[in-house]
Structure 1
Amino acid sequence: MEHRCAEYGFPIETLFVQYSPGNIQLMRCANCEAVADEYIECEFMIILIDLILHKTKSYRHLLFSVINQRRVTFEGLLWKSIFVFLLLDANRSLLLKRNAGEWGSSVSFSSIVSTFQEYFLLQILVDVFVGNFMFICVFLLSMRLLLNTSIQISRCRDILLAVLVSSHFKIFLIATMVWEFPFSVIFIIDLFVLSSNMVALKVFSEPAMNRCIAACFCARAVKLLVTQISTQISLRF
């Protein structure tokens, strides 16, 4: 992925010039004449807050500036992101299965541990791996049909990393290991992840927003269908 202006997404050769360690000058975009990426000098918490607020500038900074700087370790970053994503999704699957078996109003870490005694690990693996595999396949197909995006190997890797990175709201599922919370929080987190994926797709491909929404909803619907089918089958046994 090439560098982009964080303001409007115009391609740019370089974001800053470094004269000495700690002494840099931010470059301006030749098209919009604004600072190409003001987030370079911002603290991490400011960037995180803007990501939570779904500001497109922060997503452009993350996808086109931060990841580009780590291009040498792109493969390692991709595999680490996949591992964390699947781990958090496994936690979510455990919570869903727990709620399907018991109509409790809240869940906690102790209930998650006891779930391992009630369900086979294979069922969780089916939910996580098959569900996410179908999600990625439908997501790429939707991009090809709705957004007219070419599906090449390098392009697929970039899209996959964009989806994984924009699913950062899943990190809040870690709170289930510490505090009790209403079960509806899981679906609230899912909505935030979905909206974040939409913004990342909009930033990455620059299509119409309604097509981004359609592509993300199609992929999420298929994943939800696979998860529900797996849950119903597990309840019968």
Structure 2
Amino acid sequence: MPTSQIPMEGEKDAAAVPRCVGCGSPVQRLYVQYSPGNIRLMKCDKCKAVADPYIECEFMIILIDLILHKVEAYRHLLFNMLYLDSDAYKGVLQSSVLAYIFLDAYKISFLNTATLDFNSLLSAIWCCTKILTGALVENFLFMLFILVGLEFVLKLSYNIKRYREVMSAIIISSYLKLFLLSTMVWEFPLSVIHIVNVFVLSSNIVALRVVTQSKISWCVGICCLAHGARILIDHWLLELL
């Protein structure tokens, strides 16, 4: 008997239903497995194309397409690889949140290297506390701007699960912040922070468009507003530190 990866069941949440990466329509299954290593990719009933060709792709190909901001790669990542109710999803999300906060804290410390005082244990603890608090406040307000913008545009009626989907998509699509770790090895000018921020902004726009299926103009406006608020908060935190 062939087996399928993810059958669609009436009682399953819509977020756990796989999608066609081409048109975004829900599909019953992504592939049928006849034996280990022997699978047949299923086609989308709507667009008649293979629902998810990324299943047979290497990770590096998927990563390159994500960096190129291909909508199909984002649908594969957000809908077909990760699920709100799966253990794998929860593990990835927890790791992503921790990395997200850590990288923002590192960004703040990178911008404030000249003013931070780590000469004593107490001063180092105080500086780390301020940096971590600043990163938490910055991200809280950033997400608040995203959710308020979505509520205004999409009228989600305070749907907690939809908010969670959006927040997860924003956090996971901010993977480009990992490039900040290269500043630990090589010396870069401060402008590299702004370059990374631009790439993160564009990635967030694509992820928001995919997960909400709304107009690109609305996604651009919401993300630009939230990132603009983040920049203002960054300047405010720089003065405090």
Q: Under TM normalisation by the shorter chain, which class is it?
A: 0.7 to 0.9
**Residue among 107, 111, 117 paired with 1:96:** 111
Query: Which residue matches 1:50?
Result: 65
Aligned match of 1:229 in 214, 230, 236? 236
Cα separation, partners in 2 of 1:70 and 1:47, compared to 1, 3 Å: farther
Other-structure match for 1:10: 25
Contact 2:166 2:212 in 1 (8 A): no
Structure holding more helix per residue = 1
Q: 1:207 to 1:71 in 2, by over 3 A?
A: same
Percent identity, aligned pairs only? 42
Cα distance change, pair 229–154 in 1 and its aligned pair in 2 (3 A)? same
Residues 1:128 and 2:135 aligned together: yes
CA distances 1:127-155 after superposition (whole Å, capped 9, x unpaired) = 20000001111111111112333432222
Is it true that 1:179 corresponds to 2:186 in the alignment? yes
Alignment map for 1:40-189 (pairs within 5 Å):
40-68=55-83, 71-98=86-113, 101=115, 120-189=127-196
TM-score (norm 2): 0.86
Displacement of 1:8 in angstroms is 1.2
- Which residue of 193, 208, 214 maps to 2:221? 214
Q: Larger relative contact order (C-alpha < 8 A, sep ≥ 6)?
A: 1
Preserved CA contact (<8 Å) 1:94 1:112 = no
Q: How many residues align?
A: 223
- Matched AA of 1:52: I
CA distance in 1 between counterparts of 2:124 and 2:133 reads: 17
TM-score when normalising by structure 1? 0.87
Match of 2:203 among 196, 205, 211: 196
Cα distance per residue 1:198-237 (max 9 Å; x no partner): 0000111111111001111121122222221121122xxx
**Does the 8 Å CA contact 1:135/1:222 hold for their aligned counterparts?**
yes
Report the aligned-residue RMSD. 2.2
Q: Moved runs in structure 1, 4+ residues, more than 4 A?
A: 111-114, 116-119
The letter of the residue matching 2:199 is F
> Structure 1 stretch 23-32 or stretch 221-230: which is displaced more?
221-230
CA–CA distance in structure 2, aligned partners of residues 121 and 128 of structure 1: 11
Q: Which blocks of at least 5 consecutive residues in structure 2 are unaligned?
A: 1-14
Question: Structure 1, unaligned stretches of length 5 or more?
Answer: 102-110
